Chain A
Amino acid sequence: MCVRLESYESEEHQKMVRSFLDGRFENTAFCLLAPDGETRLSGTGRSPSQGLRQRRGPGRGRGDNGVVEAMEKVAKKFRAKGTKEGAILQDFHSFRQGLNVASGDQRLLIFVVATENDRKTLGTDLRDLMSDKEIIGKFHMDFADEEPDSQWRDAVKGERGKTGIFVIRANAFGQTGSVMEQLPVDATPEELKNALLEANTSFAKTEKRKVYSEHVAAGRRARVHFENGMPYGEDRDGDGVIDHRAGRGGRGAGPEAGERRGPPAGRRGGPPRGNRRPGQPPQRPRIRPGGTE
């Protein structure tokens, strides 16, 4: 199963990134982990090919440097249990981030606003639907939380009622959106599935794939800015301080984030190092006679 965290969303996320990059903070990080969420099954790096090549050696496998084969090999070591229909549902820490990510991935966002009791029921009842082969991987999903999401209506056009299952189309910059479909929280799975598929078909017909460079250029012209939980910028020397000026950063931002100035401070090869827990700071090498370990 796959998890992708927003690097700038919280200090907690940045601690995880640092734990995978030997104390550095960079925009992207990768690792394969065992189901316990702690044991590392691969090397680490800014990308899957970096992390998995650490174990496999470069130049092997298919055009993706053998990443797919390496992942399949790891997956085969575990016997999956439970049913796919019972899969826990996706959620975001906030509607705001959910809308941004839905915009970035160009998927519709299913936003569930329900009372506490209904939310618990829906958290189980919607599992089957969200694992449906016609649905899975086509949407993002978020459950409204009281505190961070209290202002969600300010960002969205077309919503009615206090509760419901809202199918929302994010705007180009993921800071506002519009409701394409709205269903009651007691809608049947069939009603929901039909509404989701219909909305997705309509979305696919009218949404043009973003060209990254053009999107960023348009955002600069329009002075778009998304205030994240953490300041933008990277700490490539791992000294705990963001390396460059505030307000810049993010993926591909200027020479600081866009150019690698020499190799990173961390390890670039060899087997995975230990089983450090995500979020746990890296250990300093221990000095011993004749070298370090």
Chain B
Amino acid sequence: MKAAHVFWISIFSGGLALAQGPRPDDLGASPQPVGEAGVAWYTTWETARAEAERSNRPIFFMAAAATCSGISGVF
């Protein structure tokens, strides 16, 4: 639970930073230790929507780039 909270906070603060326009140099490492549970993301709209309808839960929607300047392996 603590790890999940840390993860959400990092998303929110990261998102806010994005809104203000960070450069790659401004961004560090995720505070969440590797291997710990984070957000259980759906990664296609079809599966997400099907699960939301099945479980009657609201949807936290995000779109983001998994690249920076075409450089992959970052989110």
Q: CB within 8 Å of B: which residues of A?
A: 1-8, 12-13, 16-17, 20, 27-37, 41, 45-50, 63-65, 67-68, 71, 74-75, 77-82, 84, 86-93, 97-98, 100-101, 103-107, 136-138, 140, 170-175, 200-201, 203-204, 207-213, 215-217, 219-220, 224-228, 232, 247-254, 257-260, 278
Contact = CB atoms under 8 A, between A and B. Distances in A.
Contact of B71 (A47, A68, A173): A173
Q: Chain B, interface size: which category?
A: 35 or more
Nearest to A27: B65
A35 B12 contact: no
Interface in B34-49: 34-45, 47-49
20 contacts: A1-B52, A3-B48, A5-B43, A5-B62, A74-B58, A75-B58, A78-B57, A87-B54, A97-B43, A104-B74, A175-B73, A209-B29, A212-B68, A219-B69, A226-B67, A250-B65, A250-B67, A250-B69, A251-B64, A252-B68
Contacts of B47: 88-91
Contacts of A16: 45, 63
Q: DSSP class of B's interface residues: helix, strand, loop or mixed?
A: mixed
A217 B71 CA distance: 9
Given A217-B24, A226-B70, A88 B54 contact: yes
Given A82-B56, A200-B35, A248-B69, 12 more contacts: A5-B44, A47-B15, A48-B15, A48-B62, A67-B8, A80-B56, A88-B47, A104-B74, A172-B73, A211-B29, A213-B25, A249-B70
A78 B13 CA distance: 27
B4 to A, nearest CB: 7
A276 to B, nearest CB: 13
A32 B74 contact: no
A278 B4 CA distance: 27
A125 to B, nearest CB: 17
Interface of B: 4-5, 8-9, 11-16, 18-30, 33-45, 47-75
Contacts of A82: 54-56
B63 A49 contact: no
Given A136-B40, A226-B67, A46 B15 contact: yes
B73 A4 contact: no
